[in-house]
């Protein structure tokens, strides 16, 4: 890495291997992928991490239910998450599994460091535990279910557990955490989630049980093999594992740590915004810069659950609608951070309205007219009119607008800025009517088509993080060299050269037509 090159380290949560990948996993990783791709195009040295969380009682029970050894079970399920990366065109740089040797070294080193600093002590745990959530709950957090048994805030069953346990002195970190949140107001986003965390921490923190003795599928506590580490201490440390911890002098660690962004679902925010920074403070290690907790999806207005049989398979969506349209829809449909509803009607409306009619039609009309009327070469730009200058200026301003939105994970805003330009270009083409100018003023027609080609170039550059394949196809048609597709080549200095040969145009966003019903 060049000494002056900016770095960006982004992580997904590591996904729990007791199930197959679903829309939530794809959504989180997609948000990270867009961020990673944007930052790479913007000149950053990016590390993009994903992985699988493979320890804990829930995994042990799931493996047992299938009559499998836990390692064989996790090998199979972890591969499903790796396969999702390829299927969704995710550009991860590393994939960490908590059953890897490098991870065991990292976690045990962190544990020993915490012990050396007096942050962990041995006692006995007695309290309510949810196997499904791998989480401990205070009695005030529980409610009674219809059957009279206590349930966790997540709806999961809890059981009373009594066993020897090591504890992390979380209670000591209430004020340091509150001070940190105040000094770093952007650490937790969106604001609604930040407020939840502040309220939780202000309410007081109790010491956290960080080991178990009633099952064996986990990483042993250093010096006490009768205990295995609490799965969340194990899991969270993956972010350090991937940068080579405990080697704090190594290139990976010195380059990338602390992480710039942990992307998580709202259900695991507490672990990332309370426990993780407390562990790092106690270990005297730098804290990540930001944790963003996004919302959940429903399916056609219904909560998604295995019991309802309405789990959304991202691979099925891609097979039905195509990869780039699915990527686009998931980040366009709802403000990122909010809950969203997946509906097939909305998916098709976005595909046909925004992708096919707005963006695809703009590119197809422009490039087809150039092929037909300019001998398939970049048109010549004459004296610019006020309308030309206005559209060119709007295009030039787009990179900064999109960058600002991406930096705060406002993907929907970034896409709306892009679509404002697409709509402006469509209005410009209708107003200028180059098909009429062909007869009336051919030189003016070329100027109009040049302005439109340049606009499509800028749009194709900026849609690369969201829709890599379609954007690449458009850039190919504009004969943009592979090494001129980053944002350093966005501005006027890298504008299209009149007379350059262009490739024959082809549509990139076909309309979606519902398959005919059988017998219809």
For Cα atoms 282, 284, 288, give the angle at the middle one, nearest 5 degrees.
95
Q: Which DSSP category does 358 fall into?
A: I
pLDDT on residue 464: 98
Q: CA of 6: how far to CAs of 3, 41, 213, 259, in Å?
A: 9, 12, 44, 13
Q: CA of 305: how far to CAs of 302, 341, 400, in Å?
A: 9, 14, 40
| β-strand partners of 338 | 336
Q: Two tokens at 33?
A: 């992928």
pLDDT on residue 297: 85
pLDDT on residue 493: 95
Report residues of the chain scoring pLDDT below 70.
1-4, 307, 516-520
Q: CA of 77: how far to CAs of 60, 71, 216, 384, in Å?
A: 13, 10, 19, 59
Q: Which DSSP category does 506 fall into?
A: -
For 371, the 3-state DSSP assignment is helix
pLDDT on residue 126: 86
For Cα atoms 202, 207, 211, give the angle at the middle one, nearest 5 degrees.
140
Using alpha carbons, select from 32, 81, 27, 29 the residue that is nearest to residue 54. 81
pLDDT on residue 2: 52
Give the helix/strand (H/E) hosting 232. Answer: helix 231-236
The rounded distance, in Å, linking the Cα atoms of 479 and 498 is 12
Strand blocks (E) in 131-186 = 135-137, 143-144, 150-151, 159-168
For Cα atoms 293, 295, 296, give the angle at the middle one, nearest 5 degrees.
135
Query: In the chain, helix, strand, coil percent, each to 5?
Result: 50, 15, 35
Using alpha carbons, select from 372, 358, 518, 388 the residue that is nearest to residue 452. 388
The rounded distance, in Å, linking the Cα atoms of 58 and 189 is 29
> Domain coordinates of the chain in residue numbers?
7-295, 344-494
For Cα atoms 388, 465, 405, give the angle at the middle one, nearest 5 degrees.
70
Give the helix/strand (H/E) hosting 331. Answer: helix 323-332
Where helices occur in 433-496 by DSSP H, the ranges are: 434-440, 442-462, 468-477
pLDDT tens for residues 47-92?
999 999 999 888 998 899 999 999 999 999 899 999 999 999 999 9
Residues 6+ apart with CB under 8 A from 213: 163, 164, 165, 226, 227, 228
pLDDT on residue 519: 43
Using alpha carbons, select from 474, 467, 512 the residue that is nearest to residue 362. 474
Q: Which residues of 33-61 are buried (b: 16+ CB within 10 A; e: fewer)?
A: bbbbbbbbbbebebbbbbbbbbbbbbbbb
Specify the CATH architecture of the domain 344-494.
Answer: Orthogonal Bundle (1.10)
The rounded distance, in Å, linking the Cα atoms of 472 and 480 is 9
Of the CA atoms within 13 Å of residue 230, those in its CB half-sphere come to 25
pLDDT on residue 415: 98
The rounded distance, in Å, linking the Cα atoms of 107 and 103 is 6
Cβ–Cβ < 8 Å for 41, 487: yes
Fold (CATH) for 7-295: Rossmann fold (3.40.50)
Cβ–Cβ < 8 Å for 325, 485: no
């Amino acid at each position: 890495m060049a000494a002056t090159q900016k770095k960006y380290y982004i992580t997904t949560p590591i996904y729990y291997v007791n199930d197959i990948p679903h829309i939530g996993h794809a959504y989180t990783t997609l948000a990270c992928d867009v961020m990673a791709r944007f930052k790479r195009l913007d000149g950053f040295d990016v590390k993009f991490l994903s992985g699988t969380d493979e320890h804990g009682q829930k995994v042990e029970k799931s493996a047992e239910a299938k009559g499998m050894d836990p390692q064989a079970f996790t090998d199979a399920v972890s591969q499903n998450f790796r396969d999702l990366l390829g299927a969704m065109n995710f550009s991860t740089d590393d994939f960490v599994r908590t059953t890897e040797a490098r991870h065991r070294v990292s976690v045990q080193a962190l544990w020993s460091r915490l012990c050396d600093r007096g942050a962990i002590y041995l006692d006995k745990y007695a309290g309510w535990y949810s196997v499904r959530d791998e989480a401990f709950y205070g009695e005030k957090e529980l409610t009674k279910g219809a059957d009279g048994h206590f349930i966790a805030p997540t709806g999961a069953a809890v059981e009373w557990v009594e066993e020897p346990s090591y504890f992390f002195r979380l209670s000591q970190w209430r004020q340091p955490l509150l001070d940190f949140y105040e000094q770093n107001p952007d650490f937790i986003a969106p604001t609604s989630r930040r407020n939840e965390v502040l309220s939780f921490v202000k309410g007081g923190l109790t010491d956290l049980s960080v080991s178990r003795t009633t099952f064996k599928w986990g990483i042993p506590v250093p010096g006490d093999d009768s205990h295995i580490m609490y799965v969340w201490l194990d899991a969270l440390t993956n972010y350090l594992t991937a940068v080579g911890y405990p080697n704090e002098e190594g290139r990976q660690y010195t380059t990338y740590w602390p992480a710039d962004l942990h992307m998580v679902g709202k259900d695991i925010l507490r672990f990332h915004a309370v426990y993780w920074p407390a562990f790092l403070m106690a270990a005297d290690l730098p804290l990540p810069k930001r944790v963003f907790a996004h919302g959940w999806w429903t399916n056609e207005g219904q909560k998604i659950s295995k019991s309802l049989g309405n789990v959304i398979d991202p691979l099925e969506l891609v097979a039905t609608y195509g990869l780039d349209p699915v990527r686009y829809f998931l980040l366009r449909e709802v403000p990122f951070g909010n809950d969203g509803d997946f509906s097939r009607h909305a998916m098709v409306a976005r595909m046909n309205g925004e992708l096919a009619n707005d963006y695809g039609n703009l590119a197809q009309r422009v490039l087809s007219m150039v092929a037909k009327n300019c001998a398939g070469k970049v048109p010549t730009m004459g004296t610019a009119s006020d309308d030309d200058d206005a559209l060119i200026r709007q295009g030039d301003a787009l990179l900064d607008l999109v960058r600002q939105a991406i930096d705060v994970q406002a993907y929907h805003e970034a896409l709306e800025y892009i679509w404002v330009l697409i709509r402006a270009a469509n209005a410009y083409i209708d107003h200028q009517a180059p098909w009429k100018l062909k007869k009336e003023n051919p030189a003016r027609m070329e100027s109009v088509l040049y302005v439109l080609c340049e606009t499509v170039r800028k749009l194709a550059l900026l849609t690369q993080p969201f829709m890599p394949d379609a954007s690449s196809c458009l850039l190919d048609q504009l004969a943009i060299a592979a090494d001129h597709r980053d944002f350093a080549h966005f501005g006027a200095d890298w504008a299209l050269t009149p007379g350059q040969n262009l490739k024959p145009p082809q549509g990139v966003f076909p309309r979606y037509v519902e398959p005919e019903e059988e017998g219809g």
